[in-house]
Amino acid sequence: MMKSFSLKKFLLMLVTWVKGFFTFEEDAQGRRKRKEVLILAGIFCALIISAIVVGVSDNIPGIVLCYLATIVLAVAATRTWRKTKRFLVLVVASAIGFFVFVFLHNAFYALTIVTNHIAALSHLMEVFHVVFFIIAVFLCPATFLVGVVGSIFCAVIERRKQAIR
């Protein structure tokens, strides 16, 4: 039997996750989490700055640095996950998300061309189509990779635990 979807419960779960992601306990575990987030944020910033310095436009090293930065961002968000199912959901969501964001990119690009006589609206549509392009090209493949590697890693660990029992 399927559970019914509740937007209120989903938003509450999302707010709780975001609050837990940025809140740190005062014990040794909390200090470790804070260090992890700060280290990953530093690596992310260093990779983005390096990509900007190297240049991204038609430059393979710059594009690779952008992919590495988005992978670090995805790892930062999933660093506490220990279940294979969560990573598999991430894989499916990123695969579906890729096609959704490609469609949205193309739709907003078409709207940019259609609304080119209205300057403010045209610029807004251009912002949307660029953002959806970046999400489709950089974020979705990176989260797909993190999901695949994380699910394999968790499955191996779960098999080892079952073998020990």
One domain, residues 134 and 160: yes
Structural domain of 45: 26-80
Residue 162 lies in a domain: yes
One domain, residues 153 and 86: yes
Question: What stretches of 4-59 show up as alpha helix (H) in DSSP?
Answer: 7-22, 28-54
One domain, residues 117 and 103: yes
pLDDT for the residue numbered 37: 82
One domain, residues 30 and 68: yes
Number of Cβ within 10 Å of residue 129's Cβ equals: 20
One domain, residues 61 and 119: no
Residue 116 lies in a domain: yes
One domain, residues 103 and 139: yes
d(CA 21, CA 130): 28
For residue range 18-71, what is the model confidence (pLDDT) as tens digits?
Answer: 776 666 555 555 666 778 888 898 999 999 999 999 988 888 999 999 999 999
Residue 20 lies in a domain: no
Q: Which of 103, 160, 156, 105 is nearest to 127 (CA)?
A: 105
For residue range 98-117, what is the model confidence (pLDDT) as tens digits?
Answer: 999 999 999 999 999 999 89
Give me the residue label for tokens 């209205």. 118
CB–CB of 104/132 below 8 Å?
yes
What is the tally of structural domains in the chain?
2
Give me the residue label for tokens 């199912």. 85
Looking at every residue in the chain, the average pLDDT score rounds to 87
One domain, residues 68 and 86: no
pTM of the model: 0.77
